[in-house]
Structure formats: structure tokens, C-alpha cells
């Protein structure tokens, strides 16, 4: 089969389950470089396309420890570039609390350092508390997305200010640059004025890969217009299939090729010797949760303080503010469909922070991922191991060979850059 599953590994420095760090043998430091190096090495052994590191800009002390105790991702990925050779390296940087020139430099640098493996997750930052760290009032949702659209255009423009052959290094004549091949950007827009050019030659991928994970309507529009890889939040097959079809259609409406945009739902695979054993592992993990943590996380996800509602009652009518629409929508619709109580919902949220949890033997997990891929509910998956290192080892050692046997996953890297892994051509300069 020509079409192949793309895999990302989603890491916060340790496991994705809120209490995964308490599992026997699990890594429990979110700032230990060697933990991250080992995650990258294992994911590379499993031939993953990409390692993705999320980021936030405020310390929510009541929530998942990784939301508070974390390394700045681009710095960390630059270090991982030195101990890996193939895996793509993706990091979050905010379009609300950064400026385009700095972001363009950071990811172009990471692309040079890693020989073409950089990816930028352009997020608008939902957490209002971030504003206080930048002397800003948190902008409303529409303004954040309007700014993001212009931000990405400016970053991409900066990446293209240099022709590929602008650095000539002619020792005889003493000319280092052919300045006729370097242009200013001269961008003047509603949110930014950026002259350019960037102070760096064009990077190995031409344009680093752009990731997007917004779940709201403007989030999907931004993804359809600009993203190469979209991380989605879905809980079941039918929902994933219809979200996939609708985003691909949107990509087409922007005049882009839908096959060149990979949609990767987030999934936390819990792998056991049997399906029943996998559920036992999940129960053990859930047993480590404390209810205040779960309530805080769910409140943060929904943007509403839910602690005053009865835990064992049905999901109350909530008037959701202008925060993370994508997560809120996916979680509330799942909860209502399955007649969950608030306690069920916070348990689900605390497990994978609102993402899909898939329990089973390696065969069950591979069957399910294969079905989602073949029936076009996904182009691959953003794998969220509950804890490290064992949960990732289980996936790489047991599920990856199953997927390879079925012909839906690569048996070796066929290229060197992240664009190669994703089947994306190195772009010409945008005119
Ligand atoms: C897989 C995944 C990873 C994400 N990573 C981040 C992140 O690192 N930092 C962040 O601020 N938001 C992150 N988000 C949140 C979204 O990108 C988005 O900003 C948020 O959901 C609000 O936008 P929306 O209203 O369009 O959903 C992530 C979402 C998903 C699905």
C-alpha cells in the first residue's frame, strides 16, 4: 500500500497520563534531558515521523505537573537534534505571545541544526493566565486567530527572504553573499510590521513543517489554510471520520492538496498482554488520580469552574467561555453521548487530558489503528504514552511490528528530513 501511517510521539517530558509518573518504574522528571533523549531514541527506533513537545506560558500549579515543570521546547529539541538522526522535532510556540521574527529564526535555526527536521506547532494559547507573564490582557478568541493568520504568513515570508543559493562563500573574490538573491519582506499588516530579511540563509527544508492543533472553527480554518500536519482531538471512529472528511474538504477549498495535509488524532494506547490486562493497567493508572487534580484539569479544559456541581450527577448545562473550543466540544459531546457523570468525565480528562484512550492487546490496538487509517478517519496518530519508558517501549516493540506486517507502516526511513517522512516536497520560494 502506498499510503503509510504517520506517527508522532507526543511528550511532555514524561508520560501523558496525569498520574503516569506514579506508575511503578515510570520516569518522573519533566526537566531531565536524558529522559527526553531516551524517548527520542525509542521513537526513532520505532521509525516515528516526529517527536512533538507541547508548551504553555503560565504555571498552573493545580494541574498536570508537566504544565508547570517543563523545559522550553526549542532549546530542548536543539539538544535532541544532537543525539538523533532521522526523527522530526516539533515544538509549540505561541502566536499570541511571541513575535514572528523570533519564531522564524528559532525554527530556521532548529532546521539548520537538525539538518531539516524542524516543525513549528503554531498555537494561539488558550490559557488566559499567560497574559500576566507578558504584561498583556489575553486577547479574545477571534483576535488570537486573526493575529495567528498574519503571524504565520509573516514567518513563512521571512523563511523565503533568501534564495537557496544566496550564500556563495567565494574565497577568491571575498564575496560571502550574493545580495541580489536576498530580499526584504517589508510586511505591514494589522498586527505586525516586519522589514526582514531574516539574518540566516534558507534552511534545509526551505520551510520547516507547520503543525496546528486548534479545534474551533477558526482553528480548523487556520489548519486548512496553513498546516502540513494537524493534531486532532477525537474520541471515536464516527466522529473522527466525519472530522477528517470535513477538514480535508476545507483544505481543498483553500486550493491545497488534501493528501499533503496529515491529520493525526491524539491517542493514548494502553497495551496489555490481553485486552483485559490493558484495562487493568488503565485502572491502576486511574487509581493514582486525585479528584482535585481531575477537577482542576477539567475546569481548565472547559474554562468553567465545575467544582460546585455534584460529581455523580449528569453533566450540567454549561455556558462555555471563549477558551479551548476544540477540547470542550469533543469532551462534552462524548460525555453526553455516553451518559457520563461529571466524575466519569474528569476521570476521562485526567487520563489523557481529553484525548482518546485505546486499551487492548497489541493486536487490538493495531487492528483499531489500521481500521482508522484505512477507512480514512486518520492519516496516522499522535501517540501519547501514558508513562515512559515502558508504555512507549510496548508500542514500539509490539504494535509497530504488527503495523509493519500489515503493510501500513514503513520498515525503514526512506529520507532524511521531516518533509521526506511526510511525503512533502521541499517547497520552492513562494513568490
Ligand atoms: C495534540 C494537541 C497539542 C496541543 N498542544 C498545545 C500546546 O503545546 N500549547 C498550547 O497552548 N495549546 C496546545 N494545544 C491547544 C490548541 O492548539 C489550541 O490552542 C486550543 O485548543 C485553543 O484553540 P481552539 O479554540 O481552536 O481549540 C494542543 C492541542 C492538541 C490537540
Contact in structure between 271 and 395 (CB atoms under 8 Å): yes
What is the 255 CA–ligand 1 centroid distance (Å)?
Answer: 25
Contact 76, 36 (CB under 8 A): yes
Q: Is a pLDDT exceeding 70 seen at residue 1?
A: no
Which ligand 1 atom is at minimum distance from the Cα of 355? 31
Maximum Cα–Cα distance across the chain: 79
178 within 8 A of 189, measured Cβ to Cβ? no
Q: Residue 9: is its pLDDT beyond 90?
A: yes
Three cell numbers, residue 12: 511532555
- Which atom, in ligand 1's list, is nearest to the CA of 214? 26
Q: Name which residue leads in pLDDT, 431 or 19.
A: 19
Distance (Å, whole) CA 96 – CA 139:
8
Q: Is the pLDDT of residue 307 over 90?
A: no
Mean pLDDT of the chain: 93
For residue 232, the CA-to-ligand 1 centroid distance in Å is 9
pLDDT tens, 58-73?
987 877 777 788 899 9
- pLDDT for 301: 75
Measured distance CA(223)–CA(231) in Å, rounded = 9
Q: Which atom of ligand 1 is nearest to the CA of 233?
A: 31
To test the ligand 1 pocket, which listed residue (213, 219, 326) has its Cβ within 8 A of the most ligand atoms? Answer: 213
Q: What is the pLDDT of residue 46?
A: 98
pLDDT score recorded for residue 431: 56
User: Has residue 131 got a pLDDT over 90?
Assistant: yes
Scan for cell 494561539, then name that residue: 124
Q: Give strand pairing partners of 359.
A: 270
Assess whether the C-beta atom of 16 lies below 6 angstroms from ligand 1.
no
Distance of CA 261 to the CA centre of its chain: 14
Average pLDDT estimate for 150-157: 98
Q: What is the CA radius of gyration of the chain?
A: 21
Q: Decide: 176 and 132 in contact? Cβ < 8 Å.
A: no
**pLDDT tens-digit readout, 227-283:** 999 999 998 999 999 999 999 999 999 999 999 999 999 999 999 999 999 999 999
Q: What is the mean pLDDT of residues 308-337?
A: 76
264 touches ligand 1 (CB under 6 Å): no
Residue 10 and residue 12: Cα distance in Å, rounded? 7
Q: Is the pLDDT of residue 400 over 70?
A: yes
329 has a pLDDT exceeding 80: no
- Dihedral sign, CA of 360, 366, 369, 370? negative
CATH architecture of 6-269+356-422: Alpha-Beta Barrel (3.20)
Per-residue pLDDT, 255: 97
Confirm or reject: Cβ of 73 under 6 Å from ligand 1: no
Place of cell 499588516: 189
CA distances, 170 to each of 167, 197, 201, 259, 294 (Å): 9, 21, 15, 41, 61
* pLDDT tier for residue 189 given thresholds of 50, 70 and 90: very high
Per domain, the residue ranges of the chain are 6-269+356-422
404 phi, psi to nearest 5 deg: -65, -45
Q: What number is the average pLDDT over the span 115-131?
A: 96
Percentage of the chain with pLDDT > 70? Answer: 97
Choice from 52, 59, 126, 240 to test ligand 1 binding pocket (greatest atom count within 8 A of CB):
126
Pairwise pLDDT comparison (310 vs 292), residue with the higher score = 310
Torsion, CA 340, CA 243, CA 124, CA 386, rounded to 10:
50
Closest C-alpha to ligand 1, atom 8: 54
Distance 284 CA to ligand 1 centre (A): 28
pTM: 0.93
Helix (H) or strand (E) holding 94: strand 88-94
Please state the atom number of ligand 1 nearest to the C-alpha of residue 220: 26
Question: Residue 350's pLDDT band (boundaries 50, 70, 90)?
Answer: confident
β-bridge pairing 88-94 and 118-123 = parallel
Amino acid at each position: 500500500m502506498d499510503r503509510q501511517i504517520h506517527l508522532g510521539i507526543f511528550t511532555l517530558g514524561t508520560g501523558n497520563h496525569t498520574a503516569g509518573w506514579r506508575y511503578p518504574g515510570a520516569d518522573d522528571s519533566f526537566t531531565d534531558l536524558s529522559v527526553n533523549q531516551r524517548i527520542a531514541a525509542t521513537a526513532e527506533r520505532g521509525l516515528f515521523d516526529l517527536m512533538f513537545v507541547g508548551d504553555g506560558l503560565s504555571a498552573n500549579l493545580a494541574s498536570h505537573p508537566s504544565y508547570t515543570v517543563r523545559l522550553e521546547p526549542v532549546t530542548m529539541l536543539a539538544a535532541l537534534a544532537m543525539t538523533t538522526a532521522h526523527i522530526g522535532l516539533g515544538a509549540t510556540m505561541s502566536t499570541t505571545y511571541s513575535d514572528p521574527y523570533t519564531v522564524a529564526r528559532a525554527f530556521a535555526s532548529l532546521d539548520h541544526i537538525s539538518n531539516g527536521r524542524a516543525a513549528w506547532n503554531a498555537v494561539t494559547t488558550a490559557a488566559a493566565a499567560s497574559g500576566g507573564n507578558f504584561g498583556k490582557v489575553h486577547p479574545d478568541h477571534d483576535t488570537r486567530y486573526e493575529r495567528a493568520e498574519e503571524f504565520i504568513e509573516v514567518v513563512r515570508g521571512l523563511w523565503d527572504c533568501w534564495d537557496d543559493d544566496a550564500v556563495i562563500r567565494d574565497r577568491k573574490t571575498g564575496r560571502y553573499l550574493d545580495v541580489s538573491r536576498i530580499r526584504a519582506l517589508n510586511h505591514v499588516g494589522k498586527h505586525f510590521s516586519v522589514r526582514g530579511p531574516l539574518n540566516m540563509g534558507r534552511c534545509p527544508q526551505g520551510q520547516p513543517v507547520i503543525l496546528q492543533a486548534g479545534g474551533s472553527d477558526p482553528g480548523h480554518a487556520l489548519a486548512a489554510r496553513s498546516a502540513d500536519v494537524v493534531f486532532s482531538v477525537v474520541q471515536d471512529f464516527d466522529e473522527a471520520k466525519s472530522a477528517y472528511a470535513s477538514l480535508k474538504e476545507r483544505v481543498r477549498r483553500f486550493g491545497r492538496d488534501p493528501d499533503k495535509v496529515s491529520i493525526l488524532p491524539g491517542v493514548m494506547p494502553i497495551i496489555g498482554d490481553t485486552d483485559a490486562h490493558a484495562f487493568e493497567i488503565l485502572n491502576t493508572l486511574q487509581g493514582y488520580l486525585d479528584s482535585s487534580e481531575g477537577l482542576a484539569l477539567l475546569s481548565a479544559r472547559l474554562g468553567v469552574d465545575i467544582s460546585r456541581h455534584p460529581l455523580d450527577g449528569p453533566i450540567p448545562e454549561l455556558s462555555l467561555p471563549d477558551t479551548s473550543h476544540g477540547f470542550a466540544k469533543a469532551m462534552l459531546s462524548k460525555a453526553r453521548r455516553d451518559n457520563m457523570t461529571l466524575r466519569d468525565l474528569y476521570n476521562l480528562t485526567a487520563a489523557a487530558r481529553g484525548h482518546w484512550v485505546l486499551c487492548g492487546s497489541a493486536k487490538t490496538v493495531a487492528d483499531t489503528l489500521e481500521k482508522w487509517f484505512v477507512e480514512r478517519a486518520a492519516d496516522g496518530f499522535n501517540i501519547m504514552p501514558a508513562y515512559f519508558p515502558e508504555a512507549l517501549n510496548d508500542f514500539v516493540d509490539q504494535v509497530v511490528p504488527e503495523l509493519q506486517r500489515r503493510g501500513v507502516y514503513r520498515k525503514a526511513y526512506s529520507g532524511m528530513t521531516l518533509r521526506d517522512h511526510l511525503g512533502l516536497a521541499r517547497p520552492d520560494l513562494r513568490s
